[in-house]
A and B are shown apart, each in its own frame.
Chain A
Amino acid sequence: MGRKLLTEHVNVEGIETFAVYRKHGGYRAVEKALKMTPEEVVEEVKKSGLRGRGGAGFPTGMKWSFLAKPEGVPRYLVCNADESEPGTFKDRYLMSKLPHLLIEGMIAGSYALGARTSYIYIRGELLYVLRILEKAIAEAYAAGFLGENILGSGYSLDLHVHPGGGAYICGEETALLESLEGKRGNPRNKPPFPAVQGLYARPTVVNNVESIATVVPILNMGGDEYAKIGVGRSTGTKLFSACGHLNKPGIYELELGVPVEEFIYSDEYCGGIWKGRELKAVVAGGSSVPILPKELILKTAAGEPRLMTYESLSDGGFVTGTMLGSGGFIAMDETTCIVKNTWNFSRFYHHESCGQCSPCREGTGWLEKVLHRLEHGHGSMHDIDLIVSVAKQIEGNTICPLGEAAAWPVAAAVRHFRDEFEWHVTHPKEATAPGAVYRGNLVMA
């Protein structure tokens, strides 16, 4: 098993309290950072090659260096803890088990960016995590790691936790900022980007929970050392939340570069598919990324073994590849109906579209309705082409990436499992029978 940088002490009794966390090397990164200049901290993160863990995979150090720094204007660091992607539950785990790790990362990050007030925007449903965080923040204040003049360095920071109202769209960074400002959570038009005009129209950086937490091991071990872990431009370790039909679903911290096959079948990780069944398909990075059939997730189109890295998973583009996304790894066994699954995802995006721009507002509902028809045996061959066409009309034409997130899974499902969709049209009776699943030409009862 590879090195664990984030979750090393996760099973230590009482690690959520300040005293125990500190005893296990906690807040060393803050002490180290405060002795460096902010620029040096940014430089360290840049050297580490850390890529955003929220889904897009944009280099964090680069994002930090883009932050506008006009004189006399406050800047903000906002932690995006609105984790709502179906299949992704790593941030919840990290925050509830290791609240001080996130706080430590927030202090170091805020110092690097020159923010005097920082926010953690947490998903509304995670109220119990909010209480854990608030307790931890109070401890950090009491220990002098937050508030005025931290450790006598002259640097002051206030940290607030703000719960969302329960909308997936508020995980989009500009919608999150709107919501944090107390407005309706509609994504903003870009440009201007948050780095120039973010929270309260001030320069703002929005980072995922895991990205911010990862700053702690980066500072502890040094950016260069961190960059040695992993493969190519996918450096370091990443949390994966494995779920679905696996023997051992759960959170795994991997050094990027573990083969997908090993991750699924090795006893060290997921321990294979449950009930001795066959793997059918995998959604590798949360519900928004394209689904891949077994043959393509284990090996790339060129026959290379696929690795758990940003590059390897996206090898082949969207024709034969997918994305690492947020690390929500959903495995589906042979009894899974892909049409039903696609409909289920579509239903989610239909429910969560903010309704601001027309392709997404109307298109997500349309997709859901046609998929509902297909799943329930009322579809026609024409409908299969229709959903591909509607997905194409949404993709790339919306204000925020929710449009793409709704379109990609549908397009990919039809691309790789078209015969299953067609079977739903040609065999409506069999397809709607309870528990029936398409398996080539065989019907599984």
Chain B
Amino acid sequence: MAKITFDGIEVEVPDGTTILNAARKIGGGVVPPAMCYYTPLKGSGGKCRACLVRVAAGSTKDPRPMPKLVASCITPVQDGMVVENTTSQQVLDVRKGIVEMLLINHPLDCPVCDQAGECDLQNFAYEHGVSTTRYEEERRTFEKIDIGPYVQLHMTRCILCYRCVYTADQLTEGRVHGVLGRGDAAEIGTYIENSIDKDFSGNVIDVCPVGALTDKTFRFKQRVWFTKPVNAHRDCGHEKCAGRVTLWYKGKDVLRVTARKDEYGEVKEWICNECRFEKKETSDWVIEGPAHIDRSSVISANHYELPVINPQVIADLPESTVRELEKNPPLKLGGPNGTSF
């Protein structure tokens, strides 16, 4: 076991745990955001740099600070490590920079994007970003591509997290898509537009942090926050598919089926394409009850909050954060002109 101090909070985790997972054990506002790391996918992480944290002391044995910010999703903890996330001005500044970088080639078409409301990048930008950009040049755009009967790829929105590549690698038989090109010309592509129609390929939709891979059976049907998530299961029969899903209802209709996700948007159990795309009748399923949406999502709350900070536990908040909090108190409930709901 290793004991670390994260944003002033002590937590004990097994050796080999990453800093990010140690922070998730604490939970709440101190958890660094993650755009590319995905616990069920081996090898993921380290790419988006959203989860950078400052290691103020490496370990009890070697208490020197680490020279650079480290990616918390891939850096294992050491006993006696002291990590600063929301308590470090440097980390918050760098994170703002990362938001700016990620949004350079990401269109702000949230009003017409199916992912809006459950988009990791939307949450990330809202929680950590700035509302303006300094980027004036042309942005890259792509045509939408249908890859297979169920999935549409809108590369313009892709932030190259590689999650879908790992998913296809680790879940489906033979990956037929990957990253082509280099630098900001890199793109997710299927070589000579081979279509993805493997049994578990639909999971790439769930792992996509943005709206780059969308469910063609659900596109433009409904905003997600108008649908009601309900947990259900069926006896799938596919050996790798758990058959435990979330159904998204509008009225009596099942508009889409997704895997169940935890509070960090990570899939708990993979589901097969049949469950996802073919079974859209209530009669196909055994209903368990309403699904709980944990995160600061409009799906559950109908409004955003500023969950960056956990003010109770942090003594010396950075100046900019204090200013931000004064401007937008995170816990203030009330309508315009101070009227309460």
A residues with a Cβ closer than 8 A to B are 167, 169, 184, 189, 350-359, 361-366, 369-370, 386, 389, 393, 396-399
Q: What residues on A are CB-neighbors of B182 within 8 Å?
A: 167, 169, 351-355
Q: B48 is contacted by which of A358, A366, A370, A389 (Cβ under 8 Å)?
A: A358
Number of chain B residues whose Cβ lies closer than 8 Å to a Cβ of chain A? 34
Is B69 an interface position by the 8 A CB rule?
yes
Q: What residues on A are CB-neighbors of B52 within 8 Å?
A: 397
Most interface-central of B69, B104, B159 (chain A CB within 10 A): B104
Is B265 an interface position by the 8 A CB rule?
no
Inter-subunit contact A365/B184 (CB<8 Å): yes
Chain B interface mostly: loop
Most interface-central of B50, B100, B159 (chain A CB within 10 A): B100
Inter-subunit contact B184/A397 (CB<8 Å): no
Q: What residues on A are CB-neighbors of B97 within 8 Å?
A: 359, 393, 397
CB distance from A34 to the nearest CB of B (A): 39
Q: Mark B133-149, 1 if CB is under 8 A from A, else 0.
A: 01101000000000000
CB distance from A317 to the nearest CB of B (A): 14
Inter-subunit contact B100/A393 (CB<8 Å): yes
Inter-subunit contact A189/B49 (CB<8 Å): no
Known: A354-B186, A361-B186; 17 extra A-B contacts, CB below 8 A, are A350-B184, A351-B183, A352-B182, A353-B184, A354-B183, A355-B183, A358-B98, A359-B49, A361-B101, A362-B101, A362-B105, A363-B101, A365-B104, A369-B137, A389-B134, A397-B49, A397-B69
Task: Give A77 to B167 CA distance when docked, in angstroms.
Answer: 33
Closest A-B pairs by Cβ, 5 of them: A355-B186, A393-B97, A353-B183, A189-B46, A362-B101
Most interface-central of A352, A353, A362 (chain B CB within 10 A): A362
B residues with a Cβ closer than 8 A to A are 35, 45-50, 52, 68-69, 71, 74, 94, 97-98, 100-102, 104-105, 134-135, 137, 159-160, 162, 178-179, 181-186
Inter-subunit contact B183/A366 (CB<8 Å): no
Q: What residues on B are CB-neighbors of A355 within 8 Å?
A: 160, 179, 181-186
5 CB contacts below 8 A, A to B, read: A353-B182, A357-B46, A358-B160, A366-B137, A397-B98
Task: Give A356 to B183 CA distance when docked, in angstroms.
Answer: 7
Inter-subunit contact A359/B45 (CB<8 Å): no
Q: A350 is contacted by which of B48, B94, B183 (Cβ under 8 Å)?
A: B183
Inter-subunit contact B46/A361 (CB<8 Å): no
CB-CB under 8 A for A358 and B101, given A352-B182, A364-B184: yes
Inter-subunit contact A362/B186 (CB<8 Å): no
Task: Give A353 to B184 CA distance when docked, in angstroms.
Answer: 8
Task: Give A399 to B162 CA distance when docked, in angstroms.
Answer: 15
